[in-house]
Amino acid sequence: MKRCSVLVALVLSLSLPAWAHFGMLIPSRPVIAQADPKTVELSLSFSHPMEGVGMDMAKPKACGVLAGSAREDLTPGLRPASVMGKAAWSAAYTVKRPGVYIFHFEPEPYWEPAEDSFIVHYTKVVVPAFGEEEGWDREVGHPIEIVPLTRPFGLYAGNVFQGIVKQNGKPAPYAEVEIEFYNREGKAVPPTAYQVTQVVKADRNGVFTYAVPRAGWWSFAALAPADFKLKKDGKDKAVEIGGVIWVYFHAWQEK
């Protein structure tokens, strides 16, 4: 599931589990308070967040924001960017009123020769502005999606995060969820290869639980085989779909 041609040779040579790639959607701040700049910068990429190894990402098929029941298309404003030295995308969005803003994108299918399949990670992040908190569990409507059961902002490191995996709008029993820390500063050192990507499974109702060990951005990716195929050189190929949510956990603070 998680092997990537860029890394496969190295990984095999070390006999370690392969590192996982994730759709990444990182906003310039996890929460927008009154005193903050009103414009959120969004960074979109397809990368290995713990290892800090990037991959080139084609221009996403769609990028948007859902606030309440209002949807806005951010695709026309996508600009080329660089993440971990590879092709990535950025967008900017100016928040005009209190609300819970669910930013999301759908990438072009990524062809992965090592798996003989395509990968599509539908990715989102939930950013609250000016004290509003209603609507944090709204569904974007992706073919596979994590719907948070824990309010996905204002969290502390150490909190448990729970979500329900939905595929085509219905709970996905025993779905696999991969979890990874965004090792932005490169300081985190996994004690073993198994800590690069952690794995939990949903229960029979599609609900999964994970306790977050430290502050920062964390990604949760629900993975499943797609119920459709895509063509590569005229042949039908399997597609792995991922529903990714990024969640920020704050460090405990004292005065």
Residues engaged in binding Cu ion (CB under 5 A): 4, 21
Name the residue nearer to Cu ion (CB basis): 20 or 126: 20
Nearest distance, CB of residue 222 and Cu ion, angstroms: 17
Query: Closer CB to Cu ion, residue 5 or residue 168?
Result: 5
Give least dist CB 242 to Cu ion, A: 12
Q: How far is the CB of 33 from Cu ion (least distance, A)?
A: 35
> Which residue has the CB atom at the shortest distance from Cu ion?
4
> Among 195, 194, 141, 200, which residue's Cα sits nearest to residue 168?
141
Give the nearer residue to Cu ion in terms of CB position, either 164 or 196.
196
Q: Please say which residue, 71 or 184, places its beta carbon nearer to Cu ion.
A: 184
- Report, in Å, the least distance between residue 6 CB and Cu ion: 6
CA distances, 21 to each of 57, 78, 106, 249 (Å) = 12, 21, 15, 21
Q: Which of 220, 222, 226, 221 lies closest to 240 in space, CA to CA?
A: 226
- Residue pair 3/221 in contact (Cβ under 8 Å)? The answer is no
DSSP character string of 130-198: TT--TTTT-----SEEEEESS-SSSEETT-EEEEEEEETTEE-TT-EEEEEE--TTS----SSGGGTSE
Q: How far apart are CA 208 and CA 147, in angstroms?
A: 11
* CB nearer to Cu ion: pick between 4 and 144: 4
For Cu ion, the closer CB: 111 or 130: 111
Minimum distance between the CB of residue 75 and Cu ion, rounded to whole angstroms? Answer: 24
Q: How far is the CB of 178 from Cu ion (least distance, A)?
A: 12
